[in-house]
Structure 1
Amino acid sequence: MKVKSKSMFGFLVLVYLVMPACAQEKSWMMGPFERAENQKPIIEPQLETVFDDPMTERSVFWESMATFNPAAIIKDKTIHVFYRAEEKLGENEIGGHTSRLGLATSTDGVNYKRFSVPVFFPADDDQKEFEWTGGTEDPRIVVTDEGLYVLTYTQWNREYPRLAIATSKDLKNWTKHGPIFQNFKDGKYHNIETKSGAIVTQVKNGELVAAKIDEKYWMYYGVPHIWLAYSEDLINWTPVETHEGNLAPVLSPRPGYFDSWLVEAGPPPVLTEDGIVVLYNAGNSKEIGVEDLGNRVYTGGQALFSKDQPWKLLDRGKHPFIKPEKDFEKSGQYQDGTTFLEGLVLFNDVWYLYYGTADSMVGVVTWKQKP
């Protein structure tokens, strides 16, 4: 098929508009992820659940405002979804609430049972200087071959959002290890914004586990660029720097595309035969990006990195593979619209991708991978 040059722009716009929201663009990509028929959010705010908060010493309706941005992991043949929750304070202001992590579980991927109190939260512990009063936000989670669960999350003290680590052997009792860069080069990156830590995984025995490359664990993190860090124990991390001693971005925004405003690490990446597949969150600026998407809209992109050199970008999609379409993805705290990716599991041979919608609820799409 030949297309005249003067019609090329219109042709490309048409291709973009008719491409299915969860389509697979390249052979190395994960997906296509599909929405359930008559899709609805799987986790929504609840008005009646109460928590005795050790920070404020009062009872709070801890998930009455929003429930969003979920991590996910498999334990005992059950999906565990850790989601960020905020209580209603009488105003609708992003960043003005306290965040805690709630938990919902499912044995079939369809029905979810929720715990009535948060399972991870700012407490009267040795991390309160970093977690009071903003809270604990935006988790990702992986498990090691030895059965250690590693949670990356954002500590928010209303001064700096800091990427932090916590570990558990049972998903119930957690040890907080604090900000990951606090001790690196005398705290060089301690007092700057760090968040969204996504540790590389691989499929073993039908489930995702933390992967080692060159005897190290690797983590993609950050916004508005994505950076890289490595660790030998999943607790102490070293950021990848240039020879000048600066953070080296491995993925950046692209003028002219859906990710023209920002990029942010999504769920734990997956090591495949093709390389490391990184699902990432993308923000659009329509003046220099995709006009039809609008400003500040969060969609999902995919990038491929070398399986031997995790900093080496091999390929990248030109279109979002998921974007806000449903009403619940475009209404709530963030009305510009989000499909904010954070949780990914392989459960009974089906991939479940969990995401936050408009900073308000949790959605999920699935992909049945062919043998």
Structure 2
Amino acid sequence: MLAKNRKIMDILKKRLAILLFLLVLTACGVKPTVADTKGDKALLVDKAWMLGPFERPENAKPIIQSNPAIVFKDPMSGADVAWQSKATFNPAAVVKGKKIHVLYRAEQDRNVDSIGGHTSRIGLAISKDGVNYQTEEAPIFYPDNDDQKKYEWIGGTEDPRIVESDDGTYILTYTQWNGKIPRLALATSPDLKKWTKHGPVFEDYKDGKYNERETKSGAIVTELKDGKLVAAKINGNYYMYYGVPHIWLASSTELINWVPVEDYAGNLAPVLNPRPGYFDSWLVEAGPPPVLTDDGIVVLYNAGNSSNIGVKDLGNRVYTSGQALFSATEPWKLIDRSETPFLKPELPFEKSGQYKDGTTFVEGLVYFDGKWYLFYGTADSMVGVATATVD
């Protein structure tokens, strides 16, 4: 009888805790996010450590779209090319001079009917208010006649992520695509205009052990310091989550040279894997730079679904967004992860484009004017934004 009473009391305590949590959210003007998964319309997907909840603007529309009228003198071909005629998507973001700077992937249409068959360059859009974005006429980062052209031509420079270091240097991670192997690469800049390319991140590691292997999506851990996100050091090292269809980890002492985390046998050790039965059953891929918080490292990641072993109603190959929590002192140690996506394709522009299955592909995160601004690619075609109030 005593054990039964204790069990009842435990249940009541848990329900009371949930009720109090919901009341606090409501009092703060925050609507708890719910998801319809496995028929449970009342399933709360918010966890105390997660960033958000994120909300789209009212009557949400793309903030950046393709524009075939803008041309650029391409140094590789010598021709004037419509460098963002096909699509603009998969954005990075950073705050500079009290303005949001969005670095987005722009594709030149090469009349090839396949994803990845076009030439990508990185453009820049700037906003003073987080609502209106003005794009630059020319790309700020692109394939050139330099020592990286063998890795970057003719596919281009893709899918940027960006962080700022303590000394104000901007660290850009991106994918080099030569039409054969996608490689995770790194570049630095003092001003987002002049760039130094450092080449593939793992080109020299163990005589190029991973240089002929697909690598991409490098997200360097950050922390909120003096009102902006900067690269965070943990026990003397910087850390970067990267890769697809699993997420791996690498470390660095100075943000330029990186060492992948391996197991005792010298193999890459995945720190986040796809999960049968969930929205991330097909693949997981690092999103924007993770954030070091009081709870640990919050990693926002992109998730692909395989409906036969995942969420049946979500569809195959649909990209949604999840969150995972890692230890603040052992970045390879997974503590928790979201049960349902916190962002998924719902609006027409998120489900129409060259990737018709739909994507909300998160890549850019900034703290601006008291809010989180999360930038994401939609259907490999446009750029969207969602915001969350920061406590």
Q: With structure 2 as the length reference, what TM-score do the two structures score?
A: 0.90
- Match for 2:212 among 174, 191, 202? 191
- Match for 1:287 among 308, 315, 323? 308
Shift of 1:232: 0.7
Partner of 1:64: 85
Q: In structure 2, what is the Cα distance between the partners aligned to 1:242 and 1:89?
A: 42
Q: In structure 2, what is the Cα distance between the partners aligned to 1:359 and 1:77?
A: 29
Percent identity over the alignment is: 67
Identify which range, 346-355 or 23-32, moves more after superposition: 23-32
Partner of 1:153: 174
Check the 8 A contact 2:45/2:339 in 1, yes or no: no
Partner of 2:259: 238
Q: In structure 2, what is the Cα distance between the partners aligned to 1:13 and 1:36?
A: 28
1:113 aligns with 2:134: yes
Shift of 1:90: 2.9
**What SS class does the counterpart of residue 175 from structure 2 fall into?**
strand
- The one-letter code sitting in structure 1 at the alignment partner of 2:73 is D
Q: In structure 2, what is the Cα distance between the partners aligned to 1:36 and 1:219?
A: 30
Shift of 1:91: 3.9
What are the superposed Cα offsets for residues 5-63 of structure 1, whole Å, 9 maximum, x if unpaired? xxxxxx95222x676xxx85200000000111100000000120001111111111110
User: Which structure 2 residues correspond to residues 118-267 of structure 1 after superposition, within 5 A?
Assistant: 118-267=139-288
Q: In structure 1, what is the Cα distance between the partners aligned to 2:287 and 2:179?
A: 23
- The one-letter code sitting in structure 1 at the alignment partner of 2:83 is W
What are the superposed Cα offsets for residues 74-102 of structure 1, whole Å, 9 maximum, x if unpaired? 10001000000012233432011010000
**What SS class does the counterpart of residue 166 from structure 1 fall into?**
strand
Following TM superposition, the consecutive aligned residue runs of length 4 or more in structure 1 with deviations greater than 3 angstroms are none
Partner of 1:13: 38
Count of aligned positions: 358
What are the superposed Cα offsets for residues 260-304 of structure 1, whole Å, 9 maximum, x if unpaired? 000000000000000000000000000000001000000000000
**What SS class does the counterpart of residue 147 from structure 1 fall into?**
coil
Check the 8 A contact 2:154/2:178 in 1, yes or no: yes
Q: In structure 1, what is the Cα distance between the partners aligned to 2:284 and 2:47?
A: 20
**What SS class does the counterpart of residue 206 from structure 2 fall into?**
helix
Identify which range, 247-256 or 85-94, moves more after superposition: 85-94
Shift of 1:243: 0.2
Check the 8 A contact 2:216/2:243 in 1, yes or no: yes
**What SS class does the counterpart of residue 138 from structure 1 fall into?**
strand
Partner of 2:3: none
1:319 aligns with 2:340: yes
What are the superposed Cα offsets for residues 83-125 of structure 1, whole Å, 9 maximum, x if unpaired? 0001223343201101000000001000101101111000011
Q: In structure 2, what is the Cα distance between the partners aligned to 1:161 and 1:18?
A: 41
Partner of 2:386: 365
Q: In structure 1, what is the Cα distance between the partners aligned to 2:307 and 2:213?
A: 28
Partner of 2:51: 30
Rg larger for:
2
Check the 8 A contact 1:163/1:179 in 2, yes or no: yes
Check the 8 A contact 2:155/2:178 in 1, yes or no: yes
CA RMSD of aligned residues (A): 1.4
Kindly tell me: are residues 188 and 91 of structure 1, through their superposed partners in 2, closer, same or farther at Cα, counting changes over 3 Å? closer
Partner of 1:44: 65
Check the 8 A contact 1:264/1:280 in 2, yes or no: yes
Shift of 1:369: 1.5
Q: In structure 2, what is the Cα distance between the partners aligned to 1:286 and 1:61?
A: 38
Q: In structure 2, what is the Cα distance between the partners aligned to 1:137 and 1:180?
A: 15
1:351 aligns with 2:376: no
**What SS class does the counterpart of residue 346 from structure 1 fall into?**
strand
1:94 aligns with 2:97: no
Q: In structure 1, what is the Cα distance between the partners aligned to 2:268 and 2:310?
A: 25
Partner of 1:310: 331
- Match for 1:55 among 76, 91, 96? 76
1:297 aligns with 2:322: no
Check the 8 A contact 1:24/1:32 in 2, yes or no: no
Shift of 1:156: 0.6
Gaps of 5+ in 1: 3-10
- The one-letter code sitting in structure 1 at the alignment partner of 2:292 is L
Gaps of 5+ in 2: 1-10, 13-35
Q: In structure 1, what is the Cα distance between the partners aligned to 2:149 and 2:108?
A: 19
Shift of 1:336: 0.2
